[in-house]
């Protein structure tokens, strides 16, 4: 076990170890984001659907306003 810890310290230390840690951190961040998006996919879809409806209603209101104004 002590040999394994010494080996891990050696791998993490120095220039090469820093890049390894950076890669692992990026992978973890990407996986966390992917899991969050997967877990909340239904709520995200519902939110985007209501946002689309709201924007459509605003577009209709703008068109109605433009039609009442003489250009």
**24-35 per-position pLDDT tens digit:** 899 999 999 999
What separation in angstroms does the CA of 30 have from each of 22, 23, 36, 40? 12, 11, 10, 15
Residue extents of the structural domains in the chain: 1-39, 40-71
- Could you give the percent of the chain with pLDDT greater than 70? 86
Please name the residue that has the structure tokens 């002590």: 2
Q: How far is CA 56 from the centre of its chain?
A: 26
What separation in angstroms does the CA of 68 have from each of 7, 62, 63, 64? 77, 10, 9, 6
- Res 70: pLDDT: 60
Residue 50 is encoded by which pair of tokens?
Answer: 């209501």
């Amino acid at each position: 076990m002590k040999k394994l810890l010494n080996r891990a310290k050696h791998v993490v230390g120095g220039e090469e170890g820093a890049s390894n840690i950076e890669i692992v951190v990026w992978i973890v961040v990407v996986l966390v984001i992917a899991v969050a998006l997967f877990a909340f996919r239904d709520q995200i879809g519902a939110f985007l659907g209501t946002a689309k409806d709201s924007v459509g209603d605003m577009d209709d209101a703008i068109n109605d306003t433009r039609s009442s104004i003489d250009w």
